[in-house]
């Protein structure tokens, strides 16, 4: 989780706690109603936090998968380029070997 998300989470939790405390102190309702409101507030905050966590997790997963595919594509390109370069080197060496064989044949006559 990024530092910004951590700060947001902390701010939400502090806000919920302060709001619940103030609600209890200044509640004109009966205790049972106040407790239900506090519980509902915590449930809402929990739900909101859960949705934000799911969103962050989903976004992180998407970015990780995109990076994985980019890495795989880069690897495949590298392997392909190395294969072509290897063929070029082999062809070059075969030509040089052929030239050397011709030169050696002339020298042996």
Domain ranges of the chain: 3-108
> Both tokens of residue 103?
């030169």
> Which of 37, 3, 43 lies closest to 21, judged by CA?
37
Q: What is the pLDDT of residue 19?
A: 81
Residue 1 has pLDDT above 70, yes or no: no
Give residue 27's pLDDT: 66
Cβ neighbours of residue 14 under 8 Å, at least 6 residues apart? none
What average pLDDT does range 25-48 have in this prediction?
78
Mean pLDDT of 6-21: 81
Instruction: Give which of 30, 49, 51, 29 is closest to 41, Cα–Cα.
Output: 49
* Per-residue pLDDT at 2: 57
């Amino acid at each position: 989780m990024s530092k910004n998300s951590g700060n947001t989470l902390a701010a939400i939790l502090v806000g919920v706690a302060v709001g619940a405390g103030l609600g209890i102190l200044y509640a004109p309702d009966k205790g049972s109603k106040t407790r239900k409101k506090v519980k509902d507030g915590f449930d809402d905050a929990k739900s909101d936090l859960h949705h934000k966590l799911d969103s962050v997790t989903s976004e992180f997963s998407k970015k990780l998968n995109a990076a994985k595919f980019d890495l795989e594509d880069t690897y495949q390109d590298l392997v392909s380029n190395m294969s072509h370069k290897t063929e070029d080197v082999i062809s070059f060496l075969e030509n040089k070997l052929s030239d050397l064989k011709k030169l050696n044949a002339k020298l042996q006559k």
